[in-house]
Structure 1
Amino acid sequence: MLSCKALVASSSDYLDGQLRFTEGLSVRAHLAMCGNCRRFVRQLRLTLRVLQQMPEPLVSDLDAVAAQLADAAKKPD
């Protein structure tokens, strides 16, 4: 049977539908018996839904903005 640690490691692939059929069966079998992992996967699903509903950032190149802010903070007044 799949361990809790192994389930956590493969949970993103499971939710994305990227596991092979037998791996998915192992995950579902583990979830049927482990309440803690069911709760973990439920929370992960909720987190993914919330992130998908967040608006796109207004600035497309956040790394450039962060670099500009860092440069501005280094300059003396």
Structure 2
Amino acid sequence: MLTCKEQVARSSDFLDGQLSFGDRLRMRHHLMFCANCRRFIRQMRLMQATLRILPEPEVADAQGLAERLASELKRNS
């Protein structure tokens, strides 16, 4: 059986479906017996769901920002 530390380390891969069949079975076995890790996985799922519904941040125009900063620097020099 996995330790809680091993389970936490693999939790993102578990939630993303990136574990092998055997690793998924070991995770599920651990979760059957560990209430703390079940709670952790529930919290991770909730966080993933919350992040999915948040709007995408606007991407800053890096070149435009660099040009504005350069012109400000020239003006203040």
Is the pair's TM-score, using the shorter chain for normalization, greater than 0.5?
A: yes
The aligned residue for residue 38 of structure 2 is 38
Sequence identity (%): 52
TM-score between the two structures when normalised by the length of structure 2: 0.78
Instruction: Choose 1 or 2 for highest CA Rg.
Output: 2
Aligned CA-pair RMSD = 2.3
Which stretches of structure 1, 4 residues or longer, exceed 2 Å deviation after superposition? none
Task: Give me the whole-angstrom Cα distance separating, in 2, the residues matched to 1:34 and 1:24.
Answer: 15
Task: Give CA-to-partner distance per residue, 1:7-33, whole Å, 9 cap, x none.
Answer: 000000000000000000000000000
The aligned residue for residue 11 of structure 2 is 11
TM-score between the two structures when normalised by the length of structure 1: 0.78
Matches within 5 A, 1:1-77: 1-59=1-59, 61=60, 64=62
